[in-house]
A and B are shown apart, each in its own frame.
Chain A
Amino acid sequence: MAAKKVIETKKLSKVFKNGEIEVHALTDINILIEDGEFVAIMGASGSGKSTLLNILGCLDKPSDGEYFLDGVFVNNLNKNQLAAIRNQKIGFIFQSYNLLPRTTALENVELPLVYNRTGEFLNPSEHAKKALEKVGLGNRIYHKTNQLSGGEQQRVAIARALVNNPALILSDEATGNLDSKASIEVADLFVKLNDLGKTILMITHESDIAQFAKRLIYLRDGRVLTDELIKNRSTKESAIRELGLTE
């Protein structure tokens, strides 16, 4: 049985028009990501990483080409349908956590369920608690975000991305604001979640973090430069060992 296609793009392009000048942010991107994959996307700044993430995250629409998310043809959806797709199929993780300030971890994690109209999650706080336990914050559920460390805040954000049981977890520089040790913890958490069957797409410019993924896509100037499996994946242990050497 062939694995389910979570992401499939065909000749995806994005052109920004700024007056007379046209900027080709993405050109002919063909990516296929199947269920259970753990993919890292790398590239220098300006390579189109963020634009690709915005399109894959249904926050933006491509100028050209087709995008299927979990079997849904996204190009034709209107704003409200896109909102519903983001709510049900995607879990976002951002570089700066984007948690609600002065709000408990539990309430933050419940947030996607507030906007869920399917009636699937009738007991939001139960689901939120389970998600927080999965990321190892079962003892911090009533802490407010400003009482948590950066690593803990990002784990709350990851729990928030998990709570709606999405088809895809999208991480945008999730480790960008964290120190090396916390970064490794978060990357390791991704590995564990992937082991549980979660499909994860992670954008990063830290190659040592990218090495935790199973597959690496390298972008340059809006095109896919390389797309290959990672042979020698990092683990938490290997990364910490390496960290020890550099110190």
Chain B
Amino acid sequence: MRQLFKTFKVAFKAINKNRSRSLLTVLGIIIGVGAVIMTISAGEGANKQVQDQISGLGTNLLMIYTKMEHRGGTHVRLGRPIDKKDFDILQKNSVWISKLSPLVNIGAQAVGPNGYKSTVVYGVNHEYFDILSRELFSGDYFKEEDVKLANKVCVIGETTREELFVDLDPIGRQIRLDKIPFTVVGLLKEEGQGAMGQDQDDIILAPYTTIQDRLIGHRRGYDMIMASAINENTVSDAKIEASELLRESHKIRDFEKDDFDITTQVELQEITGNITGILTILLGAIASISLIVGGIGIMNIMLVSVTERTREIGTRLAIGARESDILTQFLIEAVVLSLAGGILGTVLGIVGNHIIYKLTNFYIPTAPYSIMIGFGFAALVGIAFGYFPARKAAKLNPIDALRYE
């Protein structure tokens, strides 16, 4: 133990004697560790943002839709579509679901006083706004009565307003959806980009009954039922319950598979979490390449250092150093160098994250585990790339080394 301490002292002295060279050697590690910390933190930050946006949709959300299958390049529906009967059963019998809305959609040409666009129109009921927690900027939502009477009213998003109205106030004005006039009753508050990158303000919402009657032409089935569970903790109960109710409604026998899918908010978060997780690993892996390059730099310098200090090593061996003493000395030098690089690199990473935040407003919390990864990797690189030169030093023949010129 005392011997090891002495060896540490010897290694520190050697590093101290070659200060500028040591610093240059360490630069590779500094940049490597800094890069690892910054990329992993950036990945984590992006993940957090996506997750926040998904939870912004409402964490109690359930989406129930007909199962589709790819067959010969087209989507083919399996089994019965979700329809009004399913909706009624869920509404009447479900304990864990508090709100429900059908969803139908159809492409339509929307024409406003100052512009037009091809878009998708969504038919929903009055509870949709609650389920997805969409708030109003002005005007009002359409009411239960509008849905019942299939009134020609709609609520639009900011992007749609801008394209169809430009600078006019849309409330009370008409737009035409495939030539059918709808009165705009409400304008939604801006939401920005959704979790998947779509514009959540590029939207036209109308009573689903109206859309079915006027645009689709029949009232057979919905594309989806959106529902919200009573609270976050009952989402999985709500899912099981809805699944049982629908199996019964669809007369699916025990050995048959569901002909519908239920996706919950939590699952959506898991999926996107997986995607961004993979992205983070990928970024981190690319950054670690720079660490390996840094390690090679250390190996290179240590090899030069061993050659340069051949005589010193010979002297040490002659006056009683064991091979293991020399090995440890050089190994410690390499590890100390890379750990010093690790510390400085961590500082660089944290400062870098802060600078990015200042410049772009993209907040990156430095992930603590990224520091551990960066640091651990640096130590590993030090040992791995320090071992070869250290071994070379320890295996020197003292007789030759003493007379090395």
Contact = CB atoms under 8 A, between A and B. Distances in A.
B6 A114 contact: yes
Contact of A59 (B6, B324, B399): B399
A57 B318 CA distance: 8
B314 A98 contact: yes
Interface string A86-121: 111000101010111111000100011011110000
B387 to A, nearest CB: 19
A94 B320 contact: no
Nearest to A81: B322
Q: Which of B13, B315, B316, B398 has the most CB of A within 10 A?
A: B315
Contact of B322 (A79, A96, A111): A79
B402 A94 contact: yes
A76 to B, nearest CB: 18
Nearest to B321: A115
Nearest to A99: B315
Contact of B318 (A92, A102, A117): A92
A133 interface: no
B106 to A, nearest CB: 83
Contacts, number: 63
Contacts of B10: 114
User: Secondary structure of the B side of the interface?
Assistant: helix
B399 A111 contact: no
Interface in B316-341: 316-325
Contact of B319 (A54, A79, A92, A103): A92
Contacts of B324: 80
Interface in A44-87: 54, 57, 59-60, 79-80, 83-84, 86-87
Nearest to A111: B319
B3 interface: yes
A94 B318 CA distance: 10
B17 interface: yes
A154 to B, nearest CB: 14
B126 interface: no
A88 B323 CA distance: 16
A214 interface: no
Contact of A54 (B13, B312, B399): B399
Contacts of B319: 86-87, 92, 111-112, 115, 160
Contacts of A103: 13, 17
Interface residues of B, number: 23
Contacts of B6: 114
Nearest to B10: A114
Contacts of B321: 83, 87, 115
B312 A86 contact: no
Interface in B1-43: 3, 6, 9-10, 13, 17
Contacts of B317: 83
A160 B319 CA distance: 9
Contacts of B323: 79-80, 83
A98 B311 contact: yes
Contact of B320 (A99, A101, A107, A115): A115
Nearest to B323: A79
A210 B399 CA distance: 24
Q: Which of B6, B9, B324 has the most CB of A within 10 A?
A: B6
Interface in B269-289: none
Nearest to B314: A98
A86 B9 CA distance: 22
Contacts of B3: 117
Interface in A126-170: 160, 164
Nearest to A172: B402
Contacts of B322: 79-80, 83, 115
A101 to B, nearest CB: 8
A59 B318 contact: yes
A160 B325 CA distance: 19
B320 A88 contact: yes
Contacts of A164: 320
A102 B3 CA distance: 23
A1 B321 CA distance: 36
A115 B325 contact: yes
A90 to B, nearest CB: 8
5 contacts: A59-B398, A80-B322, A99-B315, A111-B316, A114-B10
Interface of B: 3, 6, 9-10, 13, 17, 311-312, 314-325, 398-399, 402
Given A86-B320, A87-B320, A102-B17, 4 more contacts: A80-B324, A98-B402, A99-B315, A103-B13
Closest 10 CB pairs of A and B: A87-B320, A98-B315, A115-B320, A112-B319, A83-B322, A115-B321, A86-B320, A114-B6, A80-B322, A92-B318
